[in-house]
Structure 1
Amino acid sequence: MKKVIIICCLLLSIGCKTKNVNGKKMGKSVDATEMSTVDEAQKNKAYELGKRILMTCNDTKFKPFTQSEATDKVIAKSTPENIKKICVKYNLKYGLFKDLEFVEMIPNKTDNTNVYRFKALFEYAKANKELRVTMNTENKASTITTKDWKDEFE
């Protein structure tokens, strides 16, 4: 009986450490107290890049990303026209952007990236948006996306 319990505990602990999301192997989420100094620096960079995009909705001044901040794909998609379209929609629906609140970091073991989840705070209380910034091993933003907020990472 003891062996069965030990085996179940081992399987449970292995199952809790990683999960597959859209075919990618994701590690256990990490909150701010468990992060290393490298992860903390990367989190701060992700915060600054994400905030820069959403602050554009308030003041309409967008400073384009550089090669050292983001990948070519992110730079190509973050044109002033694309950001303006998003901002018009967000300003009408959620009001002015206030700040980002760090929630968790999820390491992606498949491609060695870290997904930083932030809760976007807007003027209207009904605003419930999430900003995800994926940082690669070169410390560059490889994706920046917004989604409707869900407590569980999907």
Structure 2
Amino acid sequence: MKKVIIICCLLAFIGCKTKNVNGKQIGKSVDANEINKLDEAQKNKAYELGKRVLMTCNDIKFKPFTQSEATDKVIAKSTPENIKQICVKYSLKYGLFKDLEFVEMVPNMTDNTNIYRFKALFEYAKANKELRVTMNTENKASAISTKDWKDEFE
């Protein structure tokens, strides 16, 4: 009986530590209280980069990312035309962008990146959007995306 309980506890521990999401091995999410100093600096950078993109919706001035801030893929996709298209849609549907609220950091074990989830706050109360900024080991944004808000990471 003891062995069965120990095995069950061990399996539960292993099952809670990591999970697969869309074929990627994802670690346990970390909220604002548990984040360490290195991740705190990376979180602040992710916040600034994400806020810069969404603030474009308010003032129509986008400062392009530099090589030290983002990967070539992100720089290529974040053209003023692409961001303007997104902003027009968001401004009509959600109103003016206010701020980002940090929710959690999810480590991606597959490619050694950290996914920072922010809740995007807009003028209209019905706005329920999430901004995800993926930061790589070089402290560069390797992906920036918006999704409909869900409490559970998917």
Amino acid at match of 2:7: I
**C-alpha displacement of 1:32:** 1.3
Aligned residue in 1 for 2:93: 93
Q: 2:123, 2:5 → 1: CA distance?
A: 51
Matched residue count: 154
Q: Does 1:124 find its partner at 2:100?
A: no
**C-alpha displacement of 1:47:** 0.1
Q: Does 1:8 find its partner at 2:11?
A: no
Q: Structure 2: give runs of 5+ residues left out of the alignment.
A: none
Amino acid at match of 2:64: P
User: What is the root-mean-square deviation in Å for CA atoms of aligned residues?
Assistant: 0.5
Q: Structure 1: give runs of 5+ residues left out of the alignment.
A: none
**C-alpha displacement of 1:31:** 0.7
**C-alpha displacement of 1:5:** 1.1
Aligned residue in 1 for 2:103: 103
Give TM-score, length-normalised by structure 2.
0.99
Aligned residue in 2 for 1:47: 47
Aligned residue in 1 for 2:35: 35
Q: 1:32, 1:75 → 2: CA distance?
A: 28
Aligned residue in 1 for 2:137: 137
Aligned residue in 1 for 2:147: 147
Aligned residue in 1 for 2:79: 79
Amino acid at match of 1:68: S
Show structure 1 runs of 4+ deviating over 4 A: none
Give TM-score, length-normalised by structure 1.
0.99
